[in-house]
Homo-oligomer: A and B are copies of this chain.
């Protein structure tokens, strides 16, 4: 269960409110790279964790920390939306055409739907979606999902950092960027704790290697119609990353059949002309009774 402190985890200060920047911050709240996603992802992974207790505990700790990050960002959005006494255009960062280009205006729903507060949506107003909360029950797969979340999350945070010259916002974002650094390291530390990258692969490592055809398990397949030979690349020759095979090369080629489906069943009500094509003519009787 959970408690709170009314104080924020880290200072949130907006020196010069900017409603257009409030819109950008929404990506870090309700976007696929955002904090609601990592918060719920780590918590659901913890609540469903099976196996060593230490991972369950740690996921709960970091999931709870992420809740504080949503709070900081929601506060930042509200502060950017208030006191907007100057024209948006004047508030935009001066030099970069990229940055002024994305500052086309605030999210109208910040005013219309929320009365100048944060919402559970991304920077285009698309709502947070629960499908992004990944917890597979396989610890290594989940750790890679978490590294991915913190990597795209940190990339997002650095771009937001770049998109403002408000000293308060830069300070808050630099804190979040630092925490993302820690969390990238943290999830990879779990993988090390589990025996390292080689031991973890192929994920899941509990599926018998003998149940997969290993002749396809380390082959780089090229579909490039103009590439007859293997590229000189790390993934086309040499030992595989998991140490359990040797990379080889193959040009894509069909090993399967041309698929052939049965004619439609009568109760599917395809067009008559589709049914007539059936190899066995049983549909003729159906047609006779129809018209």
Contact = CB atoms under 8 A, between A and B. Distances in A.
B124 A125 contact: yes
Contact of A275 (B118, B206, B224): B206
B50 A261 contact: yes
Interface string A56-85: 011011101101101110110011001111
A82 B261 contact: yes
B52 A274 contact: yes
A52 to B, nearest CB: 4
A265 B125 CA distance: 22
Contact of A40 (B7, B120, B132): B120
Instruction: Give the most central of A8, A58, A151, A214: most B CB within 10 Å.
Output: A151
Interface string A113-143: 1111111111111111111111111111100
Contacts of A23: 108
A177 interface: yes
B36 A48 contact: no
Interface string A276-290: 111000000011011
Given A82-B262, A141-B148, A207-B158, A193 B1 contact: no
